[in-house]
Amino acid sequence: MVVRAASLVLVVLGLVACSKPVPAPFAPVAKIEVRVPTVVATLRQTPSQAVLSRWNAPASPDVTAYGDLGALFQTELFRELLPGLIVLTEAQLQPQAGDCILQWAFSIREVVFAVSQQGGLAVISYNEGALKTPVQTCIETLFALKSIEVVNAKFAYAIDESVLAVGPGVLLVGDRTMVERGLASKGPGEWPNTLALAKDQQLAFAGSITEDRLPVEGYLSVSNEHFVVHTEVTFPSIESANVAAASMASIRLQQDLPGRTPQMIAISELIGQNLFVEQTGRKVAFEVRLVGDPKVLAARLGVGAAKVIYWVRKYIDEAKVAEARTVTRKIARHLIEAKLNKLTSFPAVPAKFDAVKGKKYQSAPADWSQWQTIQFSIEEPQYFQYHVEAAKGGKAATVIAEGDLDGNGRRLRLSLAIELDPKTNTLRVADELSEEDSQGLVGN
């Protein structure tokens, strides 16, 4: 449990809020030792009143954080890293995303957030004057979200069980009740006095992790000479702290990261030779520190980001394809339950394929009017166009799902064959679902 807790700390990037200097020197876990000056905590910064006026934190949050993103995005390292990240983003998301990301990078100012088992809330401030493209246009370009009504919001969107709402100069994301309270608030909310940014720190957090409720605090520090992610965890005993500290060798880290997914392995490769650990009693400090010229650091971080973005995007695409696999079989099940004597075709929803080209489509009940004979419809936004093509005579049919997840013109087509058994007059569904894109067969 303590090994997993320590691993999770690094995966979350050990966001940060230490009010004291970094312990030095750290004992490197890897073979290569990196000696750097200690970051001295002299200046402090807490959220502005403009942000706190919209703050309505959940009760007893697990983690609370504050980030001066404006300061982070102005660092030389970030400026060197940004062009490459935009190129990666344009390749992995939508072609129009790069311009919006660039605008947001230099308009966002601060973020505060808190997360608990009951929900979470984030308040992000931004400079509206720095956006050439309207906020609503950028949000809809970057994300496929369903528009909803939220009290006191200029406009808002549903994000699973949460909402994203836009007010004057702020974005609020989280539980709907907390978002609406934040938008209606007139005065500043409370903020932990102990959670503040020191010099060269752009992000800080404090709270507890895992079911053991281990106290944790940390920060992100970026300057012209370094990139530092520092996290301190207080364990229940010196023995458990010993185990955690000893477990963080790079090879163990790679073994213990959750699920050992490719993106987690990519992260471990990036930090493995730059991880430092220091134990003081029950407290263990974990620090990833990269030092050097901003151009060199940007190149190293960019390689890691490329790997992570690639595998995360692959995971997201797989989740989208899972929608089509589920829905096609559900349509087949409805066809069987309808006990049809003859298979018929059903029109495509949406009617135009461009409606799902690189985005989600929110259907209306009228879209499914001709499907009512089998009592089928989809209420949630969909990534694929669905239709049924029946063969002449109605003895066979194919359930088809087609999508273009990246909006790049490359279609993915999933099909499921159905036949009417003439002897029993029952429908038989193929065991395998055919998956094919416009460049060839990709799965069966």
The 10s digit of each residue's pLDDT in 56-97 is 777 778 889 999 988 888 888 877 776 665 555 554 455 566
Average pLDDT over residues 192-205: 83
pLDDT at 414: 94
Long-range pairs for 294-300: beta carbons < 8 A, 24 or more residues apart: 294/75, 294/76, 294/77, 294/79, 294/80, 294/224, 295/80, 297/77, 297/80, 297/226, 297/227, 298/77, 298/80, 298/81, 298/84, 300/270
pLDDT in tens, 132-142: 888 888 787 77
251: pLDDT confidence band, cut at 50, 70 and 90?
very low
Q: Is 171 left (phi over 0), alpha (psi -120 to 50) or beta?
A: beta
Flag whether pLDDT at 244 surpasses 70: yes
pLDDT digits (tens, 9 = 90+) for 171-185: 999 888 888 888 888
On whether the CB atoms of residues 116 and 164 are closer than 8 A, the answer is: no
Please give the model's pTM, rounded to 2 decimal places. 0.58
Q: Phi and psi at residue 23, in whole multiples of 5°?
A: -60, 135
Over residues 391-405, the mean pLDDT reads: 92
Residue 315 pairs with which residues in a beta bridge? none
Question: What's the Rg (C-alpha) of the chain?
Answer: 26
Q: Which residue has the higher pLDDT, 304 or 430?
A: 430
Closest CA to 329 of 213, 183, 435: 435
pLDDT for res 14: 32
Q: Find all residues with CB under 8 Å of 121, minimum gap 6, and list them.
A: 55, 56, 57, 58, 113, 114, 172, 173, 174, 175, 178, 179, 182
Q: Where are the beta strands (DSSP E) in 318-432?
A: 346-349, 385-390, 396-403, 412-421, 426-429
CB 191 within 8 Å of CB 112? yes
- Please determine, for residue 28, whether its predicted confidence score (pLDDT) is greater than 50: no
- The confidence score (pLDDT) of residue 389 equals 95
| CA-based torsion, 75, 79, 84, 88: positive or negative | positive
pLDDT at 66: 92
| Across 218-238, average pLDDT | 88
Q: Distance between CA 282 and CA 239 in Å, rounded?
A: 8
Note the pLDDT of residue 369. 95
pLDDT of 205 over the 80 cut = yes
Q: Pick the residue with more confidence: 266 or 207?
A: 207
**What pLDDT shows up at residue 161?**
76
Per-residue pLDDT at 187 exceeds 80: no
pLDDT of residue 213: 80
Q: Looking at residues 164-193, what average pLDDT do you find? A: 84
- d(CA 230, CA 21) in angstroms, rounded, equals 11
Residue with tokens 């460049």: 439
For the chain, the average pLDDT equals 76
212 against 250, higher pLDDT: 212
Q: Using a pLDDT cut of 70, give the percent of the chain over it.
A: 73
Distance of CA 343 to the CA centre of its chain: 42
CB 84 within 8 A of CB 302: yes
Q: Report residue 37's pLDDT band, with 50, 70 and 90 as the boundaries.
A: very low
CA 351/CA 435 separation, integer angstroms:
21
Burial of 246 (0-12, 13-18, 19+ CB in 10 A): middle
The answer on pLDDT for 243 being more than 70 is yes
329, burial (CB in 10 Å: exposed 0-12, middle 13-18, buried 19+): middle
| pLDDT at residue 13 tops 80 | no
Strands 440-443 and 346-349: unpaired
pLDDT computed for residue 352 by the predictor:
94
Tell me the pLDDT tens digit for each residue of 321-363.
888 999 999 999 999 898 888 899 999 999 999 999 888 899 9
Residue 219 has pLDDT above 60, yes or no: yes
For residue 439, the model assigns a pLDDT of: 55
* Distance (Å, whole) CA 326 – CA 349: 16
Window from 44-53, 292-301, 385-394 with minimum mean pLDDT = 292-301
Which one has a higher pLDDT value, 8 or 190? 190
Structure tokens at 198: 């020191």
Distance CA 172, CA 111 (A): 10
Specify which of 39-53, 193-207, 237-251, 382-396 reaches the highest per-range mean pLDDT.
Answer: 382-396
Rounded to whole angstroms, how far apart are CA atoms 112 and 116? 14
For range 206-230, the mean pLDDT: 85
Q: Which two tokens stand for residue 349?
A: 């929803």
Mean pLDDT confidence for 151-166: 86
